[in-house]
A and B are shown apart, each in its own frame.
Chain A
Amino acid sequence: MKLGLVIDMDTCVGCHACVVSCKQWNTSGTLGALTDYEPYGKEPNGVAFNRVRSYEVDEYPNNKTVNMPMSCMHCETAECVTVCPTGASFKRAEDGIVLVDQDKCMGCNLCSWACPYGARELDQASGTMKKCTLCVDRIYDMELTEAERQPACVLTCPTRARHFGDFDDPDSNVSVLVRERNGLQSMPELGYNPVNHYLPPRPKPNAPTHNGGQLEPLTDRFKKWLNKVVVR
């Protein structure tokens, strides 16, 4: 098995719900807690497994906003595991999930240096490296219903921009999505061969913008919109 995520940059609206549900689940999960520093102070920050950043692609009038959530890519060539001197970082043979054994980590930061995706963050409280577990403590939990045996970020996404599955199976939902939507890897030139894939924004014409001046009457705009939407 080669478990991983497909993230749809077309439908992601950048709401950060996955960030919040990830933190909520994992702070009491196998690698928890995800320590917060100065949570009520001037500069609150803390450990996160998943971060969403928003970008403006191209320039006006062709510009559009693209959101890119990032968590561990569970790379096939996981350099973070190669450089680890203690053997705390490991990639599971059975499903390809990359994990950190908190009892072995000495907090040297080298694995975070080796990760191009910023997936690993040092927890200053425990002195150990922490990272996305692909919710390993959820996806195999037989107490949960099958529909719930998915990572927290996938379950919570309100626009269903996140998909979880087995990339080794050519007919799995994730493999089909990658095939049909030209799914891509981030920074393929580095050769880490990340398992997680991103679906690029669909090629759609940009929404017409109005450059000031007088608008058409609302009724006319409504009729135009109705003619576009209703298929006869």
Chain B
Amino acid sequence: MNPALSVILFTVSSGAGFGLILMAVALSLMGWVPGMGPGQTLVAILIGSVLASIGLLSSTAHLANPKNAWRAFFRFRSSWLSREGVFAVLFYPVVLVYLISLWVARDTGSLAWWGVLFGILTALLSLATVFCTGMIYASLRTIPQWNSALVPANYLLLAISSGTVILTLIADMQGVELRVLSGLALVLLVLSGLAKLLYYIWIGKPQGPTLNTAMGITRAKIKILESGQSSRSFLNKEFSNQVPAQTLKKMRWVVYLAGFVIPAVLMLVVFQTSMMLLSVLAVLLLLAGLSIERWLFFVEARHVVNVFYGQ
């Protein structure tokens, strides 16, 4: 698949934003992090909303005819893209009420009952939006590498782990106790890294339709003689790419180091020493690593239309 920059930015940024909001709401409602009151949560939710909004705005850059984008909310019953849009838009009024409740509670330190209610709704809508993003890809039977429950699982885990690392940085800047957050970030990074490894092992198996099943001639070798076109058409530009397999292999290492291993080690050090510079480094590395992870997610996906071109 063609790795569109707008979609990479969208999924990484809004994933991290919604993950950050989800974790901030959950942890502050549970009261597991000492020192993280409504005032600190407010900052985290605001930063999360900005990240999510940057992502959602950049996703519209992917549309060829954005003036009809408002119509995308009307097929909720069948389309995962429509569901994602609906949840993402519903998120805004709900998070606004939640932010107001946090603002009101920032001095007293105790959240009103409606603040708790809207906090839970905010977290649920964030979760639903990220899940829908994953399902847009997982629902496509035409792309064997995406058509799996591992895809929404990966999207959710990566969103939550990157959100937690960012939350650690935000908490660090506000002088909140870091042991719970950095410990949680470490666990989530390890979990999402393992889930990604599982995904990479799973897509390593050859799968999906072949030229034989496409032509109904199943007992002979088939090769393409001519594609009937003198240059690359929409189908080639959108669905195939010429990235060498060697590069893909190297990029997987980059994903592992920048996206999981180094941030996890940094979180471990933060867990021990609470050095702010390390949290900054972890966030930057993680976002870069996840961008490459998302690029690979597209480049390694092989749409079945490629078989008609003998690829």
**A residues engaging B (CB < 8 A)?**
9, 14, 16, 19, 42-48, 51-59, 62, 65-66, 68, 70, 79, 81-88, 103-110, 112-118, 121-122, 124, 126-128, 184-192, 198, 200-201
**Identity of the chain B residue whose Cβ is nearest the Cβ of A106 in the assembled complex:** B68
**B residues engaging A (CB < 8 A)?**
1, 62-69, 71-75, 78-82, 85, 136, 139-143, 209, 211, 213-217, 220-235, 238-239, 303-305, 308-310
| Contact (Cβ within 8 A) A110 B136 | yes
CA A58 – CA B217 in complex, angstroms? 10
| Contact (Cβ within 8 A) A116 B228 | no
A56 with B225: in contact, given A85-B72, A88-B71 (CB under 8 Å)?
yes
Pick the contact of A57: B214, B222, B228, B303 (CB < 8 A).
B222
| Contact (Cβ within 8 A) A66 B215 | yes
| Contact (Cβ within 8 A) B63 A106 | yes
| Contact (Cβ within 8 A) B72 A86 | yes
A190 with B142: in contact, given A88-B71, A118-B305 (CB under 8 Å)?
yes
Q: Find chain B residues with CB under 8 A from A65 CB.
A: 225
A83 with B81: in contact, given A122-B64, A188-B213 (CB under 8 Å)?
yes
Q: Find chain A residues with CB under 8 A from B80 CB.
A: 83
Pick the contact of A85: B85, B141, B226, B304 (CB < 8 A).
B85
Q: Find chain A residues with CB under 8 A from B139 CB.
A: 83
- Distance in Å: Cβ of B119 to nearest Cβ of chain A: 29
Main secondary structure, interface of A, reads loop
- Distance in Å: Cβ of A55 to nearest Cβ of chain B: 5
| Contact (Cβ within 8 A) A107 B65 | yes
- Tell which of B67, B79, B229, B230 has the most Cβ of chain A within 10 Å: B79
| Contact (Cβ within 8 A) A53 B74 | no
- Distance in Å: Cβ of B281 to nearest Cβ of chain A: 36
Pick the contact of A190: B209, B227, B235 (CB < 8 A).
B209
| Contact (Cβ within 8 A) A108 B222 | no
| Contact (Cβ within 8 A) B74 A51 | no
- Distance in Å: Cβ of B5 to nearest Cβ of chain A: 14
| Contact (Cβ within 8 A) A47 B71 | no
Q: Find chain B residues with CB under 8 A from A16 CB.
A: 228
A85 with B79: in contact, given A47-B234, A128-B64, A198-B216 (CB under 8 Å)?
yes
Can you list 21 A-B contacts with CB-CB less than 8 angstroms, sorted by A residue number? A9-B215, A44-B231, A51-B228, A56-B225, A59-B221, A68-B308, A83-B139, A86-B74, A86-B75, A105-B68, A108-B62, A109-B64, A110-B136, A113-B303, A116-B209, A118-B235, A186-B215, A187-B304, A189-B213, A190-B209, A200-B216
